[in-house]
Structure 1
Amino acid sequence: MIDYVRGRVAYHTVDTVVVEAAGVGYRLFCANPFQWKEGEEIRIFTHHVVREDAQLLYGFKDAEERDLFRLLLEVSGIGPKVALAVIGAGSPATLVEAVQREDLRFLTKLPGIGKKTAQRIVLDLKDKLEKAGWTRLLAESDLPKEASRPGSPALAEAIEALMALGYNEGEAEAAVRQARDSFEDEEPALDGWIRRALQVSVKG
């Protein structure tokens, strides 16, 4: 089992990064291979898939992403390609929180996830995530959890609006988090959230 690869980023393709380690180039399928720069020395966590016709490596920036990817593979109907797309759609904390809340509406927005698969994710993973200590990840995360809860619909709607404008889940959450910090004690309407989130994301 290859747990991680440490080496220099040789080059990228659309869905892979090639890391040279000890004279060997390892091609790793990634959700976002361009998060690493060419020539950069990195440690990338891996999941090794062995098939009859191929041996494939999947790469992740940290062990949490890799471990969540592995849990997704245990869900019936989810293969490595869909699991990788789900991981790339947002932070692990976002996905774990959605599963714990049984938020099918959120889960069905993820790439390759329909209603039945979303129900299976909740059924198969909710207890496993709890037992594996993923609640600790949520407690330590600065994710704006209120953004997707009924008590704060403006935050959730702001994230959805940014995603409609082309932001991915992680980018939209980060922009809303920055906007929330800048408002301090204010409680703006939806258009206020969107305007401020756009402003801080452009400045960033």
Structure 2
Amino acid sequence: MIAQIRGQITALTVKSAIIDVNGVGYRVFVTPQALAGLEINQTYTLYTHHHQREDAQELYGFLTADERDMFEKLLSVNGVGPKSALGVLSRARVLDIVKAVQKNEISMLTKVSGIGAKTAERIVRELVGKLDGQFVMDSISGTAGGNDDADVISALEQLGYSAAEARTALADLPKEIKDPAAKIKAVLKNHGQAK
């Protein structure tokens, strides 16, 4: 199983990115939010899920381990495939999905193409109690993604910043701040708390 890849983005399509890892180009399906944050000729680490079917093998990539873990939790639900799981993550942040499951709010899930009321109810029923504080703590502490700035940006987005605001705030930080948790704290201190 391929759990993570690091390489240079060589092409972007509507639904995927091609990432060059030591001369091999991997097509990785990503959310629109991830696509917006990727730039050609830049190096990124993507946390991946390697999905195998009888007729195909596909990689689904995420900027944070939290997103990948949520994707895999969604896949564990009977009747939810990778395209539907990616659709859920395209419409909502990880913390919003956790809240929707905890509060039994199926309306957010039914907005995703391919997920009807019965599937949304099944998602809530099967995931309730399985989504502990891991997602919240990982995104804020930085343990989900090592020291990549993409993880810091994702955590700031979960705190209410737009991707552009998060990138700008991150660029304003002194270069000696390396720890993701320290970067998040510094941004919150410099630019105010969560938006």
Between the aligned partners of 1:125 and 1:106, the Cα distance in structure 2 is 15
Between the aligned partners of 1:15 and 1:115, the Cα distance in structure 2 is 25
Between the aligned partners of 1:124 and 1:52, the Cα distance in structure 2 is 26
Report if aligned partners of 1:12, 1:18 keep a CA contact under 8 Å in 2. yes
Alpha-carbon displacement from aligned partner over 1:107-146 (angstroms, at most 9, x marks no partner): 222332211111101110011113x7346469x59xxxxx
| Distance change >3 Å, CA 135–CA 21, structure 1 → 2 | closer
Q: Max radius of gyration: which structure?
A: 1
1:58 partner letter: Y
Determine helix, strand or coil for the equivalent of 2:84. helix
Task: Show structure 2 runs of 5+ residues with no match.
Answer: 142-156, 166-195
Given candidates 87, 91, 94, the residue that maps to 1:92 is 94
Between the aligned partners of 1:136 and 1:85, the Cα distance in structure 2 is 24
Q: Match for residue 84 of structure 2?
A: 82
Q: Match for residue 25 of structure 1?
A: 25
More helix by share: 1
Report if aligned partners of 1:46, 1:59 keep a CA contact under 8 Å in 2. yes
Report if aligned partners of 2:15, 2:30 keep a CA contact under 8 Å in 1. yes
RMSD: 2.5
- RCO (CA 8 Å, sep 6+): is it higher in 1 or 2? 2
Determine helix, strand or coil for the equivalent of 1:118. helix
Identical pairs, percent? 41
Between the aligned partners of 1:56 and 1:34, the Cα distance in structure 2 is 21
Number of residues paired by the alignment?
A: 145
> Given the two structures, how large is their TM-score scaled by the length of structure 2?
0.67
> Given the two structures, how large is their TM-score scaled by the length of structure 1?
0.64
Moved more, 108-117 or 86-95: 108-117
Task: Show structure 1 runs of 5+ residues with no match.
Answer: 142-169, 179-204
